[in-house]
Amino acid sequence: MERKHWIDNLRWATVLLVLFYHVIYFYNNKGVFGGIGGFGDYPECRQYQDIVMYILYPFFMPLLFILAGIGSRYALQKQSGKEWFRARTRKLLVPGTIGLFVFQWMVGYFNTVVAARQGVFDGMPAIAKYMMMAISGTGPLWFIQVLWLLCLVLLLIRAIDRKDWLYNICGKANYVVIILLGVLFWVGEQTLIKNPRPESLDGLLNLYKPFFYLVPFLLGYFVFAHDEVQEKLEKAWLPLMVCAVVAGTVLIVTTFGQDNTSPQYLGSPLNCLYGWLMCLAMMGWFKAKFNRTGAFAGYMTRSSYGIYIVHYLVIASLGYMMKMYTSLAPWMMYAILFFAVMLLSPAIYEILRRIPFVRWCVFGEKKNR
């Protein structure tokens, strides 16, 4: 099968959007969990830059799961299920578990430093602090942890549907069916717990959203891995993008100021409509305009996963220190943090991937590519 460069390009471009999102998110004042807080309380300080969160959050992670589903289909055409899952375990589960104790504990340090200021860690043994920092350092690695679980589910579905009946049926999807699949997107969001109990794991379930992300992952595998479906998106990318922009504009204008990660917000029909249309439009756009490669695109195709793994340390450390220990203007903090994460993340990846044991623990890579 000829390599589809548009999928590679869309994947690494979406990873860069994640980095940009986290720069804005780290200083948000809309009540979104995580980060260090904004430069004043909403609505007195409106922080219009937070619009970036409203634009990106509804679609960029579902899009990554769709692409993961497509990639899984292609990989399983060349590998046995056992070989594929072994490789997925090394690439996903190792960094999402062992990697926490080798590298991500540093992210956890900055995630827990506020709690330390409040005396939560007073009298706690050093080993216990280290364990808490490692677990707290999961951060963006929730994505690869969930993806590994979804790979397990996919193997189960393949064992049931040995003749590929579902895949063959999905290949016949027309434009109406493709658009209406957004209903499944909405159904997935309804699995979130609307009123999470503070003393339970409800909040963690809402953060990981495994039942929701199962939807785009399986749609990627069964629907969007078909050449015919990809060609339909390519032909319709412009009207899809126009519709997505209209839906997104209405969504932002009517909801700005709300916590855009709350279950109520995510489950709203307008949020789901916008998120789904953007997923379709982005796939169609990249299929039509970016189905090629070059030196930079080739590098990002190889490296974006590692950059994703390490990037949040730059944001958590530098973002925290600028906010707590400098009097820089907010715009300067955003600018410094943006350029730092875009430049230092690849540098950190390039260093770590050259250290054999660390490379395996942090990136799940056996050899230096």
The rounded percent of the chain whose pLDDT value lies above 70 is 97
Q: Which pLDDT score is estimated for 35?
A: 85
Whether 114 has a pLDDT exceeding 80, the answer reads no
What domain range includes position 123?
A: 5-363
**Tens digits of residue pLDDT in 307-333:** 999 999 999 999 999 999 999 999 999
| Residue 280 domain-assigned (yes or no) | yes
**pLDDT of 7-37, one tens digit each?**
999 999 999 999 999 999 999 999 898 889 9
343 domain-assigned: yes
What is the mean pLDDT of the segment spanning 164-172?
Answer: 96
* Res. 117 pLDDT band, cuts 50 70 90: low
Position 195 in a domain = yes
pLDDT of residue 197: 87
Q: State yes or no: pLDDT of 369 exceeds 90.
A: no
Chain segment 332-348, per-residue pLDDT in tens: 999 999 999 999 999 99
145 confidence band (pLDDT: 50, 70, 90):
very high
pLDDT value for 172: 95
Number of domains in the chain: 1
pLDDT at position 34, please?
82
Averaged pLDDT, 235-244: 98
Please give the Cα distance from 278 to 282 (Å, whole number).
6
Q: What is the pLDDT of residue 198?
A: 79
Residue 117 falls inside a structural domain? yes
Supply the pLDDT for residue 101: 97
Q: Please check whether residue 340 lies inside any domain of the structure.
A: yes
Residue 346 lies in a domain: yes
pLDDT digits (tens, 9 = 90+) for 27-84: 999 989 888 999 999 989 999 999 999 999 999 999 999 999 999 999 999 999 999 9
- Which pLDDT score, from 0 to 100, does residue 115 have? 52
- 369 located within any domain: no
pTM of the model as a whole: 0.96
Within a domain: 368: no
At residue 306, the pLDDT reads: 98
